[in-house]
Amino acid sequence: MFYVLGLISFLVPFVQALKEICYEGTGCFENSFPWAGTEARPERSLSWAPEQVNTRFLLFTKDNPDHFQEINSSTIFQSHFQTTRKTRFVIHGYTDSGDKGWVPDMCKTMLSVENINCFCIDWSRGSHTEYVQAVNNILVVGSEVADLVKTLRDELGYSPSLVHIIGHSLGAHAAGEAGKQMPSIGRITGLDPAQPYFQNNPTDLRLDPTDARLVDVIHTDTAPFDSSLGLGINQLVGHLDFFPNGGIQMPGCKHKENYNSEIDKVLQEVSRGNWTLNISEEYNKLVCNHLRSYKYYMESIITPDGFIGFPASSYFGWIQPKQTVTAFIDVETKVGRLKSVDFIWSSRNVKNYKHPLEVKSVTVEYGRDGTRYYFCGIRTAGPRTRHIIPLCNRTAGPKDP
């Protein structure tokens, strides 16, 4: 069966003609350059009709936190939607669903800490197909999300700047499509945006910083797809791109090297054109890193201070010696002249480092007058170990140049 599906998919580029197709309410879609017919996207597939994709909008609010209301552009006026709240959309990815599992769980988690309108976007009918077709179907999903935001703006005076779209995998690029069609979206969060058919492709085809006022991205599975079956895009696609643990191997997930034979099987099917990978047991073993992105994001909702990110040119550059970490302590108390610093590395931050970390120096600066105190470390600092770091042999004084 795999081979027959693959053969049919492989022949598509040669038999489907160039054309454009238009649908009322979602606009027109084409299979010409750059959307198809390229080395990265040889297949000339077209998006399904909106009725086939069957995008559903499932609304959770404080008024209905346990059971969603299914709404559309006509019925939203009779729903629990309130214009006084911010609005968040959550869009799932390939072979996933929006009416069960992590998507409604994320809405419920957000509602536990804030009063919002939260939409689960279910496009499972359009995502449970060959990957190439699902890639095209997200254009319809993004268009329909944009159309609903347009209705909110035009009919209710609701500002798109209050809209936050969260998308995982293909859903991240669907969020980008919504932003392209509806300018001034406040924020888009991409959770490990899909790599195949998007890596190094033009910005018209993928999530991009111009799609919203703020685009932030979490990358968790960025190994090359063609050799290691990395499913997440490995390039900067937002204003802020976070790569937890380097963005390739996540704690708690088995290294993909342990599944080389399974990877080979999946890649063989892909090379034959078969993207219907949800029926493969081997595939299910290999998505752990990819799924970590939405798990990390959900955890950050209830533990906003639980994840620390530092700017760096690369992960390996960050873990090299002589790197500097800055932390801001937001207090109004002036404690006077400092004599020492008690220092403990958080085990969360250091447990995955292969080499010991040395605290060479600590500088404390008062924000009010710029006075600095310098403390000199003398030994390696391990996790959960208290280190008392004394003042250096220099005078504390005004901010040095």
400 given a catalytic annotation: no
Helix (H), strand (E) at residue 261: helix 260-271
Catalytic residue among 92, 168, 219, 290: 290
| Contacting residues for 355 by C-beta, under 8 A, at least 6 apart | 319
Helix (H), strand (E) at residue 125: helix 124-127
SS3 of residue 181 by DSSP: helix
Catalytic residue among 147, 192, 211, 241: 192
Catalytic residue among 127, 143, 169, 293: 169
Q: How many angstroms separate the Cα of 289 from the Cα of each of 84, 243, 284, 400?
A: 37, 12, 11, 44
Q: How many angstroms separate the Cα of 354 from the Cα of each of 221, 319, 357, 365?
A: 20, 9, 9, 31
Helix axes 170-181, 131-156, angle to 10 degrees: 40
96 given a catalytic annotation: no
- Where does 157-253 have alpha helices with state H? 170-181, 225-228
Strands (DSSP E) contained in 46-194 are 56-61, 64-71, 86-91, 116-122, 163-168, 187-191
Asked if 365 contacts 371 with a C-beta cutoff of 8 angstroms, the reply is yes
161 given a catalytic annotation: no
What is the set of active-site residues? 169, 192, 290
